[in-house]
Amino acid sequence: MGKNDIFNCNNTSNDLKICGSGLPIYLFVAGLHGDEWRQTSELLLNINPPENGTLAVIPIVNDGEYISTLDDQYYTTLGSKIIDAVESLHPDVYVELHSYSAYNFAKLTDGERINKTGVPAYIELRDGVLLGSVAPYIRLNHFSMDALCISFEIQKDSERSIHFAEELLDVVKNCIKRDDFVEYLEKMFPSQAKRAIENYKKFYGL
Ligand SMILES: [Zn+2]
């Protein structure tokens, strides 16, 4: 911690909180819709600053209604706080924390998801934590292609899932560039990394 770290991320507010300073800029958001905040917000309320750069968090974006983030309406209504933060901070790394019920696991990881919903299937890393892309609407309209934008789905009521998600946030928070996270995945989860990269390239036509 340097002397410029005048903020810390420990807070009990649901609004945007910023800690650390300089680049890169990380934006982590949780509680995007419905009651997902119950499973995810805690992870951001007590998060420590990154070793380098600035971390901005929104622990609860919305704690009531449910609109899917795949619905373009989401980011202009329930999720407008996210767009405001992205436009003012221009994050290099953006992470959404979602949560899912175990009975939806098959649906989220279904290889046919791309044909059913227009977005690639989530990929399980470990302990019920799923890795996926963020919705095309925010990815394509609000970030450069160099940014790292990821979505983690955490299994509801699973302590193991929460713990592993916490570990992942620590990893992501210390990735200086997109390739650092890719390297981590390739080292720790080689087969999932291969699928994630294939999905990403296919999806964004790279
Ligand atoms: Zn969600």
pLDDT confidence tier of residue 59, bands split at 50, 70 and 90: very high
pLDDT at 60 (0 to 100): 95
> Is position 10 within any domain?
no
CA atoms of 80 and 86, how far apart (whole Å): 10
Q: Which residues contact 104 (CB under 8 A, 6 or more apart)?
A: none
pLDDT tens for 110-121 read 989 988 988 899
185 Cα to the center of ligand 1, angstroms:
23
- Tell me what the pLDDT averaged over the chain comes to: 91
CA atoms of 73 and 65, how far apart (whole Å): 13
Residue 9 in this model has a pLDDT that exceeds 80 = no
| Structural domain count, the chain | 1
98 Cα to the center of ligand 1, angstroms:
4
pLDDT at 12 (0 to 100): 47
| 100-110 mean pLDDT | 96
* Region of residue 79 (left: phi > 0; alpha: psi -120 to 50; beta: else): alpha
Please count the other Cβ atoms lying within 10 Å of the Cβ belonging to residue 15.
Answer: 11
| 162-177 mean pLDDT | 95
204 Cα to the center of ligand 1, angstroms:
22
> Is position 5 within any domain?
no
92 Cα to the center of ligand 1, angstroms:
22
Residue 152: give its domain's CATH number: 3.40.630
> Is position 53 within any domain?
yes
> Is position 41 within any domain?
yes
CA atoms of 113 and 100, how far apart (whole Å): 16
> Which domain, by its residues, includes 43?
17-204
3 Cα to the center of ligand 1, angstroms:
37
36 Cα to the center of ligand 1, angstroms:
6
123 Cα to the center of ligand 1, angstroms:
15
For residue 169, give the nearest of 155, 152, 183 by alpha carbon: 152
> Is position 2 within any domain?
no
pLDDT tens for 113-143 read 988 988 899 999 999 999 999 999 999 999 9
pLDDT at 107 (0 to 100): 96
40 Cα to the center of ligand 1, angstroms:
10
pLDDT at 15 (0 to 100): 82
Q: What percent of the chain has pLDDT over 70?
A: 92
Contact (Cβ atoms closer than 8 angstroms) between residue 131 and residue 152: yes
75 Cα to the center of ligand 1, angstroms:
13
Structure-token pair, residue 77 = 């209504």
